[in-house]
């Protein structure tokens, strides 16, 4: 007999922040996705989480992120877009996942030995299976069937991509240790950080496989969906505000604000979720008994009129939060111990706090801007449709033209 789980739904920004930051609130969002997500960073708790996060934080330093954005990403974007631009059209749901996968592979440390289209297509198919695994709770398909496909994809990913990526990095690390190579020869990616393991964590191979799969999917899927939705919002904004068309073309910080606004309105997951490990009383006086599943309702919190204005439901790249300290993306990057490690990589720096010499727009903005620079517009003869295979609001197909 199963006992009903006691649930509490949080709809205020202050309570949500307190839940996210509370040390006795444990991750609950990915309980159904263990096949991909067991023992990965976002599912760890307390000391185990702290030590893995400290190790991986080494990669996400400002100078590394600026190097990615300025030196590495532009050529990956150019190469990925080029065949589509040459064809004059693209379907951007798939294109965005290809693009963001190419960028996420660089960050995660997944090499491709031949660089052929077929090889990239295999990695793409595997990554799409990992995404299905991470969002298993929302699938409309048979769960056992999906799990079998994911297990197979993970084994293939390990064989074809991860094992050779590990071997190459291990050889480089050995060469650095023996003085034959220098630090500068080491790739700047999560896999190298894990193998180098300066904090002496003992991570078994199967955990490394899932951790790198997770970085690949977390980096690619969230950014890909934000990319498609931002373009959609900008298409609609341009139609309603023709006076802003030139601004969208020429002002990168306007596009960056459009990304923030899109992420506020469409967080990558509509809810955050935690288990209360002990009885907890929030500052508001709300009591949360031990064992409660706490649902953080991001859609409601991110659309709170008291924080984002009376028209908080509407996309407006010029929006400035009414409340001091509220982020323009709301709580869409989480807070506290699990706050998104890729936030700065994906969304860049906030103009008002940034040092301009090191300013980053974030990979979603840079990628969206690259499409605008190439004259993207919706294909008037082939309308976009939603994805019917999930209960989440994702676009299924979004055809565009390059004019
Ligand atoms: C638009 C882009 C993105 C959004 C909206 C987003 C959102 C989030 C959210 C809400 C969390 C917290 C989950 C929780 O507390 O339950 C998170 C965590 C995480 N994100 Fe992102 N993310 C984005 C991009 C990225 C990128 C590009 C990477 C790749 C580096 C990434 C890697 C991670 C990782 C590894 C965690 C777990 C952190 C931890 O548990 O310590 N994310 N993300």
Average pLDDT over residues 109-138: 89
CA 268 / ligand 1 centre spacing (Å): 9
pLDDT(1) > 70:
no
* pLDDT score recorded for residue 351: 74
Average pLDDT over residues 46-53: 97
CA 232 / ligand 1 centre spacing (Å): 22
15-19, 304-308, 338-342, 354-358, range with the lowest pLDDT = 354-358
Nearest-5° Cα angle at 344, 338 to 348: 150
Q: Which residue has the higher pLDDT, 357 or 268?
A: 268
Average pLDDT over residues 355-379: 92
Which atom of ligand 1 lies at the shortest distance from residue 274's CA?
A: 16
**Closest alpha carbon to 384 in 229, 241, 261:** 229
d(CA 26, CA 168): 36
Average pLDDT over residues 51-71: 95
**Residue 139 phi, psi (nearest 5):** -70, 150
* pLDDT score recorded for residue 247: 95
Average pLDDT over residues 151-160: 96
* pLDDT score recorded for residue 356: 67
pLDDT(156) > 70:
yes
* pLDDT score recorded for residue 136: 82
Q: pTM for the whole thing?
A: 0.95
Which residue has its alpha carbon closest to ligand 1 atom 21?
Answer: 340
Q: What percent of the chain has pLDDT over 70?
A: 98
Average pLDDT over residues 227-234: 97
**Closest alpha carbon to 363 in 54, 7, 19, 73:** 73
80-84, 213-217, 387-391, range with the lowest pLDDT = 387-391
CA 71 / ligand 1 centre spacing (Å): 23
Using alpha carbons, list the distances in angstroms from residue 163 to 112, 159, 205, 266.
Answer: 11, 6, 10, 36
135-139, 277-281, 292-296, 396-400, range with the lowest pLDDT = 135-139
d(CA 23, CA 34): 22
* pLDDT score recorded for residue 278: 98
Extents of the domains making up the chain: 30-268+302-371
Q: Which residues line ligand 1 (CB under 6 A)?
A: 27, 29, 41-42, 53, 107, 215, 218-219, 222-223, 226, 263, 268, 272, 332-334, 338, 340-342, 345-346, 364
CATH for 30-268+302-371 is 1.10.630.10
Q: Under 8 Å CB-to-CB from 192, ≥6 apart: which residues?
A: 109, 169, 172, 173, 186
Test site for ligand 1: of 30, 97, 218, 230, most ligand atoms within 8 A of the Cβ: 218
* pLDDT score recorded for residue 302: 98
CA 124 / ligand 1 centre spacing (Å): 20
Average pLDDT over residues 63-67: 93
Test site for ligand 1: of 342, 348, 360, 363, most ligand atoms within 8 A of the Cβ: 342
Average pLDDT over residues 369-395: 91
CA 346 / ligand 1 centre spacing (Å): 9
116-120, 212-216, 283-287, range with the lowest pLDDT = 116-120
d(CA 334, CA 296): 10
For residues 294 and 11, is the Cβ–Cβ distance under 8 A? no
* pLDDT score recorded for residue 135: 80
Give 315-338 pLDDT, tens digit per residue. 999 999 999 999 999 999 999 999
Which atom of ligand 1 lies at the shortest distance from residue 100's CA?
A: 27
Give 346-364 pLDDT, tens digit per residue. 999 987 666 667 789 999 9
* pLDDT score recorded for residue 2: 53
Neighbours of 55 (CB within 10 A): 20
d(CA 290, CA 384): 45
Start-to-end C-alpha separation, the chain = 60
């Amino acid at each position: 007999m199963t006992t009903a789980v006691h649930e509490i739904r949080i709809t205020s920004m202050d309570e949500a922040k307190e839940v996210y930051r509370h040390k006795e609130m444990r991750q609950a969002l990915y309980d159904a996705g263990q096949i991909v997500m067991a023992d990965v960073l976002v599912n760890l708790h307390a000391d185990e989480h702290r030590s893995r996060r400290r190790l991986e934080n080494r990669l996400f330093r400002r100078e590394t992120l600026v190097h990615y954005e300025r030196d590495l990403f532009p050529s990956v974007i150019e190469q990925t877009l080029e065949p589509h631009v040459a064809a004059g059209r693209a379907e951007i749901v798939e294109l965005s996942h290809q693009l963001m996968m190419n960028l996420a592979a660089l960050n995660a440390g997944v090499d491709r030995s031949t660089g052929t289209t077929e090889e990239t297509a295999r990695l793409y198919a595997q990554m799409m299976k990992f995404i299905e695994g991470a969002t298993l709770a929302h699938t409309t398909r048979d769960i056992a069937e999906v799990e079998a496909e994911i297990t197979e994809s993970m084994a293939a990913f390990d064989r074809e991509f991860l094992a050779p990526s590990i071997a190459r990095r291990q050889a480089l690390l050995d060469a650095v240790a023996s003085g034959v190579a220098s630090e500068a020869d080491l790739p700047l990616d999560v896999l190298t950080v894990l193998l180098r393991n300066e904090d002496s964590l003992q991570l078994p191979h199967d955990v490394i496989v899932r951790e790198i799969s997770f970085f690949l999917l977390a980096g690619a899927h969230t950014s890909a969906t934000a990319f498609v939705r931002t373009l959609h919002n900008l298409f609609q904004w341009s139609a309603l505000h023709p006076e802003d068309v030139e601004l969208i073309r020429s002002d990168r910080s306007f596009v960056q604000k459009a990304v923030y606004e899109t992420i506020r309105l469409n967080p990558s997951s509509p809810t955050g979720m935690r288990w209360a490990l002990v009885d907890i009383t929030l500052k508001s006086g709300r009591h949360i008994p031990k064992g409660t599943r706490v649902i953080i309702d991001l859609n409601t919190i991110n659309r709170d009129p008291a924080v984002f204005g009376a028209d908080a439901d509407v996309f407006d790249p010029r929006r400035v939060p009414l409340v001091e300290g509220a982020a323009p993306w709301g709580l869409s990057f989480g807070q506290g111990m699990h706050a998104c490690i890729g936030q700065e990589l994906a969304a860049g720096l906030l103009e008002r706090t940034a040092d301009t010499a090191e300013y980053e727009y974030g990979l979603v903005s840079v990628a969206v801007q690259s499409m605008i620079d190439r004259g993207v517009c919706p294909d008037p003869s082939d309308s976009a449709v939603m994805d019917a295979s999930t209960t989440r609001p994702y676009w299924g197909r979004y055809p565009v033209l390059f004019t």
